Chain A
Amino acid sequence: MKQGTGLGVYAILYLVFLYAPILILPVFALNDSQVVAFPLKGFTTRWFGEMWADANLRSALLRSLVIALSTSTIATVLGLFAARASVRYAFPGKPAAMGLIMLPMVLPDIVVAMALLIVLLSLSVPLSMLTIIMGHVLLCMPFAVAILTSAFQSLDKSLEEAALDLGETRAATFRLIILPLVMPGIIASFLICFTISIDEFVLANFLGSGKPVLSVYIFGQFRFPAKVPSMLALGTLLVLFSIILLGFAEYMRRRGIAKAGGKDSGGFL
């Protein structure tokens, strides 16, 4: 016990350092003062109202939602193909292909952003929401593939063979057996890609046109002290939303593994 005490204290300090700043968000979002500083003045919800009244913020949010929904759909569908192929089939160049898919996970976003920007500009592709979506798909694919690979790995190959053996076609086997069993993985992948995309800043800033997405808009607003409390209100909502989404995603992933009768081998939470 005595030996572990130092490490325990370190662990607690570490967690405080990591999460305490996030707790500041709701505290000042509900504080009745424009100045972000102690002592607290009083309770108010007006920053939430002010936030919602900002038309520019609403359109930035809308753009972010469109981008996040498109990104998570595309990344999950592509991830489905990649994960299925990597789990079920052997083909030449498989390790290289899977390695390249997973690479964006470790590449600095700024490097990816610069490289993409240079390529897009040299090809004279106009920057738009579409270019941000392309960048985000690249960023989300490793996560989608990791989650879906785990879903396919816990799927017993003989389940497919049994359905075929009992007279079903390959298409019906996919619809009746494979899809329902990997569905929790699909949902989890979708949700995680969504949360990655919605608050992504670097690629969205580099590859966006003049119309900002949510993260870029928030960054811009921080220059105006009067806007800071309403941004904190927005941040509070985003934190809550992320926690709910990630919790749900992990729940779906675990349920999927339990349903398919497999053993849990990792995950994000």
Chain B
Amino acid sequence: MRTHIEFKQIGVIASKEFWDRIRNRWVLAVAVIFTVFALVIAYFGAAQQGTVGFRGMDVTIASLVSLVIYLVPLIALILGYDAIVGERERGSLELLLSMPITHFELLMGKFVGLAGALAFSTLAGFGLAGVLLSYQLGPTALYHYVGFMLSAILLGMAFLSIAVMVSVMASDRMRASGMAIGLWFFYVLVYDLLLLGILVLSQKRFSLSFFPVLLYLNPADIFRILNVFGFEEVRKLYGLATVLPATLASPWLLGSAMVMWIVAPLGIAVWRFK
């Protein structure tokens, strides 16, 4: 028997989740972390080369990308891993589901609320840093910076979607947190090393034409490509030009892949939660 979707119910849950994070200062804490890191990196990002100070948007974004790839997935996973399993373990899920709300609406409400909190803190944190750096930014740099912020939000939502899926599948919070940390470890630390290992070990013994596609299987890599492919110098720095053909680096294609990374885990979560 089908039930139609009541968006109001999604809104009620989303609003509670969002304001809970505002109230417990989670949004503020994450925004401050982003602002401070962004400013520090913008100023000291080139310290390894013996200079300090703002050295242009391409270098700043390249440095920020490295930060965001570690930080945003971790924050998103921490934010979302107990969305459902936490309610289940505390016993509040039963009362919630006795209300006139479907499993789908509850799950979507949770996701939308948490995604709102994450997006708000990302925009506030990096936005404030952008405002503080704005006297040094031209229109092109500003365009890239806005693109960077939006892609950081997409990255956060992709990992939040994965976290919500974990939260539905895990039997308790302990397991959910273990799975979330494991996924962060895999996607952020292990995946690229694994690809590099395969690349080195293959020694051209078999075709690696499918190799660039493998980068699409990791939202962190998609984010990296989205942000560094536009900058010639940075692209060379990351060695991406040799690995990824320009056809696969289309922002629309990358953006769509990122959206898929949001939709697919959420779809699995909805299916399992039902």
The answer to whether A and B interact is no
Q: Which residues of B contact A (CB under 8 A)?
A: none
